[in-house]
Amino acid sequence: MIRYAGQEKFVKLDGSRICYIDEGEGPPLLFLHGIGGSISNWAPNIEHFKRRYRVIALDLPGFGKSGYVDADYGLEFHARAIRGLLAHLGVDRVSIVGNSLGGLITLHIALYHNELVETITLVDNAGGHKFPVLIRRALKVLPLKWLKRIILFITSYMIRFRFAYRLGGIYEINRYTRALLDEAVSTARRPDVDRYLEAYVRTARTALDVTYQERLGEICKPTLIVWGQKDLGLPLKVGQRINTAIKGSFLVAIPRAAHVPQLDQPEAFNAALDRFLTGALKCLVP
């Protein structure tokens, strides 16, 4: 089992046992991983930011070390778990950093639970781009057991090869991205892998239909957009489109990084987020 960058804690929320970390002191900073991910997707970033921020990260329900619960796994379901955790920790407002699905959930919270948000950072996020009809249709039409086998095949075998990890969103092989690959392989071998795959498919089925493209102009919080220049699944033009739609947002494109730039190029990512938070939070002080 992967060890996280921080002391693992657990809390029961809506019937699911949620794994989270709460490290450091300062302005609250929440990290949200992508589909199938975990707290470990932010390892080098947690270590960096916990020196000056109160860093909070969780495994979304059904993923990582958090428990599975029979639910729809829609965006509001995940947002409810996040709101419950923040309430448990006594956090009223927070800066949110979300990667991929985590970025889509960040948009959802900024639109529907605006009172919780100080700033948002969208990292190669879903929600500004409509996925191909074939993919969306396959997720809805194919039997669950087939989808589970496809996902299991990809994580168990294809991700081991260079062409596959590029397609899977990694550009550089370093100790952080290697750990991500190792975690994907170990996840495929989990005794409860069937429940993990159930959460994965249910989340994907609900998330792939949501873009929020028409509502991006409603975002009124300080916004940073970070994008890996080598992301094949969600190319840089998607980030550029989101940047155009959100008034006053900033876009940082990171070279030699793909779908997880926070792991591909952690120093460049941390520097960009540092600059943004320092400026944005200073402006928000009454």
Q: Is 206 helix (H, G, I), strand (E, B) or coil?
A: helix
Per-residue pLDDT of the chain (286 residues; tens, 9 = 90+): 566 777 899 999 988 899 999 999 999 999 999 988 999 999 999 999 999 999 999 999 999 999 999 999 999 999 999 999 999 999 999 999 999 999 999 999 999 999 999 999 999 998 766 655 555 566 666 666 666 676 666 665 555 554 455 555 778 778 888 787 777 777 777 788 778 888 888 888 788 778 888 899 999 999 999 999 999 888 999 999 999 999 999 999 999 999 999 999 999 999 999 999 998 877 765 5
- Letter for the amino acid at 248? G
- We find that the CATH architecture of domain 9-284 is 3-Layer(aba) Sandwich (3.40)
pLDDT given for residue 274 in this prediction: 97
pLDDT given for residue 220 in this prediction: 93
- pTM for this model (two decimals): 0.91
Rounded distance between C-alpha atoms, residue 112 and residue 212, angstroms: 12
pLDDT given for residue 167 in this prediction: 56
Q: Is 12 helix (H, G, I), strand (E, B) or coil?
A: strand
Q: Is 84 helix (H, G, I), strand (E, B) or coil?
A: helix
pLDDT given for residue 251 in this prediction: 98
User: How would DSSP label each residue in 115-163?
Assistant: GGEEEEEEES-SSSSPPPHHHHHHHHHS-HHHHHHHHHHHHHTGGGSHH
pLDDT given for residue 196 in this prediction: 80
Q: Enter the tokens of residue 193.
A: 């892998």
pLDDT given for residue 182 in this prediction: 76
Q: Is 4 helix (H, G, I), strand (E, B) or coil?
A: coil
Q: Is 88 helix (H, G, I), strand (E, B) or coil?
A: helix
Rounded distance between C-alpha atoms, residue 146 and residue 98, angstroms: 29
Region at 173 (left for phi over 0; alpha for psi -120 to 50; beta for the rest): beta
